[in-house]
């Protein structure tokens, strides 16, 4: 009997290990496949290129994932990217680079805190509030900048292509955001409180967690990170088109975060897996372009890979 139990536990462990490794395995498999089809794929330069291409997405996804772990969502991040780009473009001539960066981050933080106030303190629906903010900010961006803004100061656009310590600055910013996120979740009370709120908000309140303040702070962090991502994007493209900048980013972020295993209901999740989710999206896009897969086929393949990755994650979750 005891032997049978041991065997069962072993089988479960093997199964759990297999499913836990599903996302990294999917990435490894895809990497090998793309390498087989296009040897350029696995070159250091190409991977650096992928890291730059996903930098903005990762910068938003990390705090977004933490917010989702608390059971809340922010669908306004795409428009925040657009608005921050436009505010930056308009501010450069008067405020200079430092002043502009500070202003944009403060605007992002303030809008995030306002979202957090409406959701956390006034208990309004996160989806309604942030969808409203999504529309409002897009309208505001277009009103502020009916004409295109482009050709920003060289010292600023350097952030978009320059390197520090051999790595692109955008990659370094992305890694810093990831490191801060990991530190917050592993080493600070905020991380534990976030998960507790996601598991049971009422219970978290009863044990003394300041739920409203925590939710506000998390929304503030997401707003600021989206503003930072907006700055990163306009530094990269050297332009801030108010109509299209950041459009659809919220869906990419949500896809990456859900792919990384954070459930929509919150209560659990791993930032490292979210980072892998973002990487998988970037890698897929890069590999399919290298192979020159037609867009229609590319969309189907991307969808299929995402569904497979999600299915593997469900298996992992069920096995506990």
Partner 1 sequence: MAALVYVAALWLNQAAAAENDPSKVTIEEVRAGGKKACEGGKKFKIAFSHSVSEAAIVKQVRHFADKRAAELGCVTVLHDNTQANNLEQQINAVQGWITLGIDAIVVTPIDESALKPFQKQAQAQHIKWLTYLGKMGGSDGFVGFDHAQAGQLIGKAAVDWVKSKKIEHPKALVTTLTGLPSIAPRWTEVEKLFAQAGIEIVAKQDSADQASGLTITETVLKQHPDLSVVIGLNDDAAVGANRAVTVAGISPDQIFIGGQDGSFEGLTAVNQGKAYKASAAILINELGANVVDLALNAVAGSGPSFAYTPTVLASKADQALLDKLIANYKN
- Interface size with partner 1, residues (CB under 8 A): 36
Query: Which is nearer to partner 1, 2 or 292 (by Cβ)?
Result: 292
Query: Which is nearer to partner 1, 63 or 241 (by Cβ)?
Result: 241
27: Cβ contacts below 8 Å, ≥ 6 apart:
276, 279, 280, 283
Interaction of residue 19 with partner 1, rule CB under 8 A: no
Interaction of residue 294 with partner 1, rule CB under 8 A: yes
Q: Which part of the chain contacts partner 1 (CB under 8 A), choosing from 4-12, 36-44, 104-112, 181-189?
A: 36-44
Interaction of residue 236 with partner 1, rule CB under 8 A: yes
Q: Which part of the chain contacts partner 1 (CB under 8 A), choosing from 2-10, 186-194, 230-238, 312-320?
A: 230-238
Interaction of residue 270 with partner 1, rule CB under 8 A: no
- Contacts to partner 1 from residues 149-178, by CB under 8 A: 150-151, 160-161
Interaction of residue 148 with partner 1, rule CB under 8 A: yes
Q: What is the DSSP string of 54-100?
A: THHHHHHHHHHHHHHHTT---TTHHHHHHHHHHHHHHHHHHHHHHHH
SS (H, E, C) 210-260: CHHHHHHHHHHHHHHHHHHHHHHHHHHHCEECCCCCCCCHHHHHHHHHHHC
Q: Report CA-CA distances (Å) from 269 to 85, 142, 272, 314.
A: 30, 36, 9, 13
Interaction of residue 142 with partner 1, rule CB under 8 A: yes
The secondary structure element, H or E, covering residue 53 is helix 44-53
Kindly state the DSSP code that residue 39 receives in the 8-state scheme: G
Q: Which of 8, 43, 125, 265 binds partner 1 (CB under 8 A)?
A: 43
Interaction of residue 36 with partner 1, rule CB under 8 A: no
Q: Which of 18, 24, 38, 319 binds partner 1 (CB under 8 A)?
A: 38
Q: Which of 243, 268, 300, 311 binds partner 1 (CB under 8 A)?
A: 243
Structure tokens at 138: 């897009």
How far apart are alpha carbons 283 and 290 in whole angstroms? 10
How far apart are alpha carbons 144 and 276 in whole angstroms? 36
Q: Which part of the chain contacts partner 1 (CB under 8 A), choosing from 113-121, 145-153, 182-190, 264-272?
A: 145-153
What does R_g of the chain's alpha carbons equal in angstroms? 21
List contacts with partner 1 (CB under 8 A): 38, 40, 43, 45-46, 49, 53, 138, 142, 146-148, 150-151, 160-161, 233, 236-239, 241-245, 247, 285-286, 289-290, 292, 294-296, 298
């Amino acid at each position: 009997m005891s032997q049978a139990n041991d065997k069962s536990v072993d089988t479960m462990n093997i199964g759990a290990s297999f499913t836990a490794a599903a996302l990294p395995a999917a990435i490894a498999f895809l990497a090998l496949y793309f390498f087989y089809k296009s040897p350029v794929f696995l070159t250091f330069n190409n991977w650096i290129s992928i890291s730059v291409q996903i930098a903005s997405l990762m910068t938003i996804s990390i705090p977004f994932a933490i917010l989702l772990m608390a059971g809340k969502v922010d669908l306004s991040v795409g428009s925040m990217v657009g608005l921050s780009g436009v505010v930056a473009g308009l501010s450069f001539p008067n405020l200079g680079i430092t002043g502009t960066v500070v202003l944009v981050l403060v605007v992002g933080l303030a809008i995030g805190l306002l979202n957090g106030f409406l959701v956390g303190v006034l208990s309004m629906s996160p989806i309604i509030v942030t969808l409203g903010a999504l529309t409002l900010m897009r309208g505001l961006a277009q009103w502020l900048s009916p004409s295109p803004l482009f050709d920003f100061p060289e010292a600023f656009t350097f952030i978009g292509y320059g390197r520090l310590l051999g790595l692109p600055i955008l990659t370094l910013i992305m890694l810093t955001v990831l490191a801060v996120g990991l530190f917050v979740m592993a080493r600070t009370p905020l991380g534990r409180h976030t998960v507790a709120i996601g598991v049971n908000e009422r219970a978290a309140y009863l044990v003394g967690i300041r739920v409203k303040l925590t939710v506000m702070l998390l929304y503030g962090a997401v707003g600021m990170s989206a503003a930072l991502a907006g700055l990163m994007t306009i530094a990269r493209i050297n332009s801030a088109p108010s109509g299209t900048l950041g459009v659809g980013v919220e869906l990419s972020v949500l896809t990456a975060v859900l792919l990384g295993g954070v459930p929509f209901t919150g209560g659990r999740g791993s930032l490292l897996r979210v980072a892998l989710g973002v990487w998988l999206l970037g890698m897929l896009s890069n590999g399919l372009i290298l192979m020159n897969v037609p867009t229609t086929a590319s969309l189907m393949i991307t969808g299929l890979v995402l569904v497979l990755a999600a299915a593997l994650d469900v298996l992992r979750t069920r096995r506990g």
